[in-house]
Structure 1
Amino acid sequence: MFRRTFWFTAGAAAGVWATTKVNRKIRQLTPESLAAQAANRAIEAGHRIKDFALDVRDGMAQREAELDEVLGLNADPELPPARRVAALENGGDPKHDKNPQYSKNPTYVERSTYSYNRNEDH
């Protein structure tokens, strides 16, 4: 009798445990739960990426300070004077650069092109 009671209790406990386990798994697989899990993992991944970027930025600043010290660039840097861009020959028109007949013929005058406006016809 004592053995039967033990095995009955063990079977009932196993049944309750299995039922609870299955119900938890079913709740985890609902669309709302899956969406919440995905959102949580995305947030965690975002935090890890942010931490990595901050570590990289700190490392870059540290390395730049080391290089500045080694190269003697710790003084306030002066900006170089502004550069002037030289005017291109033939006015910088790429058509003149590709086709030499335009630059050889000084009397050539390019026609002005009429820009077509599709709204004018209406």
Structure 2
Amino acid sequence: MYKRVFWIALGASVGVLVVTKGAKTLRKFSPSGLADSASGLPGALSGSVRGFLDDVQYAAAEREMELYRALGMDSPDPDGPHDR
């Protein structure tokens, strides 16, 4: 008899845990849950893109100065680019 009570209690506990986890998962994938999880994404994504573009711009300026030094020039032409 105690074995039967043990297994019934264990089954009920596992059932409650499964239903609770399932409800959390379903709530997470509902439209409002997806909207909540995506609300911080644009800010984080724009910050990452901005950081990447800053790194690219810095690297391009650094490489430009390396090329000017390699050509024996100290700085870019003050007149700006010329059409050829």
Structure 1 unmatched ranges of 5 or more: 81-122
1:15 and 2:15 are equivalent in the alignment? yes
Give the number of the structure with larger relative contact order, counting CA–CA contacts within 8 Å between residues 6 or more apart.
2
1:56 and 2:56 are equivalent in the alignment? yes
> How far did residue 27 of structure 1 move?
2.0
The corresponding residue for 2:36 is 36
Count how many residue pairs are aligned between Structure 1 and Structure 2: 80
**Displaced runs of 4 or more, over 6 A:** none
Asked whether the equivalents of residues 27 and 33 of structure 2 are also in contact (C-alpha less than 8 Å), the reply is yes
Alpha-carbon RMSD across the aligned residues, in angstroms, is 2.4
Please give the alpha-carbon distance, in whole angstroms, between the structure 2 residues aligned to 1:6 and 1:73: 86
Q: What is the percentage of aligned positions where both structures have the same residue?
A: 31
Scaled by the length of structure 1, the TM-score of the pair is: 0.52
Asked whether the equivalents of residues 28 and 34 of structure 2 are also in contact (C-alpha less than 8 Å), the reply is yes
